Chain A
């Protein structure tokens, strides 16, 4: 009888229904959010829509500091707070929603490898362009990042963030790269993705997975964000199947509202 109760408790927590009040937090859309955060947030939103889980997007100036890991986005579901795509995928899986259940182990390993590629290449390139390229940092990143705060706090926080990202870039070996090299890396990553996608609608046959959400998040944001130069967007546009992939996901999952 005791064991039965424990089992009940376990299944009931895991199978707690997804509440209507689930919320996703990100920085202010108009004035504050930067390319990398916007891409990560869009990836999570796409994933949740693919799972059919409704979520409300709330913009808060201190979203980054509210997040338990310091990274955007995070979701508030019931009384739990989960941040970043990886943990959110695990969280939804525990609730019985998963997009990659039907994959075989080999495919799942491949999916994880491509997700690592996107994180190590695309996300790092976005961070590099935002904070290590002086022109972009001065014209776009620093003003946007510090917009909710008053002087001199705005300056302090912007430079603190820049210094932190530059230190991280040095740690992963990107400190010495030039902008051209970064664009090349992005091209190579897109080529790998394009080859894997081929003519299929999604990366793994006909059903989207978290990899599709992640790739969509990053590519779509790069294509639709204004930077100091259009070079990055151009590199992606040269792969037509990636373009139609983004358009397809936008039309299928985001058609009710403009992003």
Chain B
């Protein structure tokens, strides 16, 4: 009983018969033509047809899975809700620019009195999109050209090509992504790339040419990824003044590795989350599928967030990793862990912690790092509701250690070694959130526990990045 106004669950243009009360006794004499109105009570309906209009190259069979649920709706509210969910599913395929939903009563010969037709009007993305950016980084400028083919073969396959031409180095990459029709969370991705990097903290230059294939799938609440990667790595000295230890690592090597990672992410956002937690465990085994490098690498990342009084958030994070060489060959500088800098232990220079030789940092085979943050809105909340919401002040405490482990000794000795000479720092600063991916920080840091050989950056430190401790 009663009548229902068709309210959208989100601002969608939904056209259909006017639903409203039509008092019988009101009659406007000068209205010539009254649209026929029907009163649809909250009664059972049957969804008879679900169309998708506006398809060009997208194959229909891919979409039937996404819209199948709509058929199961039993009443009007359900139809609206399920249509909304189907719309979200269609959008997340990444192949449509716009999706609109139209719910109408059934027409035609087979039409039932309570039948509904649902139509999804979609606009496909262009076949190929290009982008051009210029980037300025550490002593280098580069031009980045990107070409993307969303929905390359009609089933939400995505192909991207990126080319970066810099004053110093050139990189390019080609990748192909295919989700399983009907199960978007399961996907395979193939990549081919050549990436060059310069690492002034180690006086090292690295060129990686590689191919990789990965398989992602959800298992219960986790997201699992299996990957095989083959990389031809070329290491060289960045300057004539590089230390001999780095010079000894110059040359070519081939790494062929299998890796597995598991991610559970219950945070509400990946940048400045307010609640939830993250657990990421990653392991990599190299050497059993060919190649020169032979090792087992484990690393993990844990983050927990909790909102406290007055809109402030307490965040705790812990990172750790271990690199075990298999066989006689020592580990390569390209596989070891690095620590320090505005994105990990603040107050220290970028990756300038731990084992070093003549000022070049060589990385370590074992590390741990922890951080405790208290994020609060800016004092006095300027620009509230708008720009000011992107900023936060934070108070932080970071600690960690990076060292080489002698695998002849037992785990007790390793733990003891990682617990000696702990570096730590504390301070406060301002964080700016950039979209949903990156953040900028400006901190005042006080490093402590500095060991000889570490390079510190006490006082004001600026950091930009995606992954912060």
A contact residues vs B (CB 8 Å cutoff) = 60-62, 64-66, 68, 76, 79, 81, 149-153, 156-157
Contact = CB atoms under 8 A, between A and B. Distances in A.
Nearest to A154: B254
Contacts of B235: 65
Nearest to B240: A68
Given A76-B244, A150-B292, A151-B290, A156 B232 contact: yes
B325 interface: no
Interface stretch (B171-179, B245-253, B424-432): B245-253
Given A149-B292, A151-B290, A79 B252 contact: no
Nearest to A68: B240
A128 to B, nearest CB: 25
Nearest to B291: A150
B251 A65 contact: yes
B251 A66 contact: yes
B240 A62 contact: no
Contacts of A65: 235-236, 250-252
Contacts of B292: 149-150, 153
Given A149-B292, A153-B292, A156-B232, A81 B252 contact: no
B254 A153 contact: yes
B248 A66 contact: yes
23 contacts: A62-B248, A62-B251, A64-B251, A65-B235, A65-B236, A65-B250, A65-B251, A65-B252, A66-B248, A66-B250, A66-B251, A68-B237, A68-B240, A79-B244, A149-B292, A150-B290, A150-B291, A150-B292, A152-B254, A153-B253, A153-B254, A153-B292, A157-B252
Interface in B289-304: 290-292
Interface in B219-243: 232, 235-237, 240
Given A153-B252, A153-B253, 6 more contacts: A65-B236, A68-B240, A76-B244, A150-B254, A153-B291, A156-B232
A236 B246 CA distance: 42
Given A149-B292, A150-B291, A153-B232, A66 B247 contact: yes
Residue in A65, A79, A157 whose Cβ sees the most chain B Cβ within 10 Å: A65
Nearest to B290: A150
Residue in B236, B252, B290, B358 whose Cβ sees the most chain A Cβ within 10 Å: B252
A43 to B, nearest CB: 23
B133 to A, nearest CB: 32
Nearest to B293: A150
Given A81-B244, A81-B247, A62 B252 contact: yes
A64 B252 CA distance: 11
A66 B249 CA distance: 8
A136 to B, nearest CB: 23
A64 to B, nearest CB: 8
A66 B240 CA distance: 11
B243 to A, nearest CB: 9
A152 B358 CA distance: 35
Nearest to B243: A79
A176 B236 CA distance: 34
Contacts of A68: 237, 240
B347 to A, nearest CB: 30
A65 B252 CA distance: 8
Contact of A149 (B237, B247, B252): B252
Nearest to A23: B244
B258 to A, nearest CB: 16
Contacts of A79: 244, 358
Contacts of A81: 244, 247
B49 to A, nearest CB: 55
A157 B209 CA distance: 13
Contacts of A156: 232
A65 B205 CA distance: 13
Contacts of B291: 150, 153
B254 A62 contact: no
8 A-B pairs closest in CB distance: A62-B251, A65-B251, A153-B254, A65-B250, A66-B250, A66-B247, A150-B292, A150-B254
Nearest to B247: A66
A156 B291 CA distance: 13
Contacts of A152: 254
A76 B292 CA distance: 26
A65 B248 CA distance: 9
A60 B292 CA distance: 15
A60 B291 CA distance: 18
Nearest to A61: B251
Contacts of B236: 65
Nearest to B236: A65
Contacts of A76: 244
B386 to A, nearest CB: 55
A173 to B, nearest CB: 31
